[in-house]
Amino acid sequence: MGHRNLVILTGAGISAESGVPTFRADDGLWMGHRIADVATPEGFARDPARVQAFYNDRRRQLPTVHPNAAHQALADLAARWDGAILLVTQNVDDLHDRAHAAIPPRPGFGLIHMHGELLKAACTVTGRVCDWPGDLAADEPSPHHPQGRLRPHIVWFGEMPLQMDRIETALDRCDLFVSIGTSGAVFPAAGFVQLARQAGARTVELNLEPTQGARLFDEGHYGPATEVVPAFVQSLTR
């Protein structure tokens, strides 16, 4: 069946083989931290130094990791696909960005970091976002407002994910929805498969193993992303 409008959702699993830790490892902690302490506005207000250090550590890791075959396969697809592709990632690393920079995508492609980006910072007063590859101090002054501070440009729990209107419009129009490397534990991303089904799209899950929401998908292909994603992309473009 010739698909035209594709929405792809990725999560931490697509970056796992690049060496970026996923969120819900067995110990339930997130790299030794409770989510409430490092990924909520309340945690940031309570202890900004701890939260900045958590993101500084992850930002510093980025130059040491690289896009893997799964990121590459999606970039190859975007370069060849003659319909629309919206790639929505929950990841805050820049691995998709780097993979797509190497192979310029065709028109009709979009990449959205719905939970923000590690390499950007936001002003606490104006909300303005700027590139920020280095560390952020606990009380980093904002260049955008005299009373402002800079926080990580990250969507924390309890905050609204980014570009939701654009994402929901694309889901409404899609005829193929592919979820890659996400546990489906976090909303609203976990609800996207339902929106795609309501739009009549074919829904596919690519993951290391079936997730809690596997039954919501028309089909699933399981294994490491660096194997299942290139194979799936090949099946689409055969």
Distance from C-alpha of 196 to C-alpha of 171, rounded to nearest angstrom: 5
* Smallest separation (angstroms) from ligand BV8 to the CB of 181: 4
* Smallest separation (angstroms) from ligand BV8 to the CB of 143: 23
CA nearest to 112, candidates 96, 131, 128, 134:
96
155 binds ligand BV8 (CB under 6 A): yes
Distance from C-alpha of 224 to C-alpha of 229, rounded to nearest angstrom: 8
> Looking at beta carbons, which residue is closest to ligand BV8?
13
Annotated catalytic sites, by residue?
A: 115
The answer to whether 153 and 181 are in contact (CB under 8 A) is no
The answer to whether 220 and 207 are in contact (CB under 8 A) is yes
Which of 131, 139, 159, 168 lies at the binding interface for ligand BV8 (CB under 6 A)? 159
Q: Which residues, other chains included, contact 238 with Cβ-Cβ below 8 Å and sequence gap of 6+? A: none
Which of 64, 107, 209, 238 lies at the binding interface for ligand BV8 (CB under 6 A)? 209
8: helix, strand or coil: strand
Show contacts with ligand BV8 in window 61-90 (CB under 6 A).
Answer: 90
Query: Segment contacting ligand BV8 (CB under 6 A): 15-23, 41-49, 73-81, 101-109?
Result: 15-23
Sign of the dihedral defined by the CA atoms of residues 166, 207, 226, 81, in that order: negative
91 binds ligand BV8 (CB under 6 A): yes
> Does residue 188 have a cis peptide bond before it, meaning omega lies within 30 degrees of 0?
yes
Show contacts with ligand BV8 in window 165-194 (CB under 6 A).
Answer: 181-183, 185-188
Query: Segment contacting ligand BV8 (CB under 6 A): 41-49, 75-83, 159-167, 213-221?
Result: 159-167
Which of 67, 105, 161, 230 lies at the binding interface for ligand BV8 (CB under 6 A)? 161
Closer Cβ to ligand BV8, 71 or 115, answer by number = 115
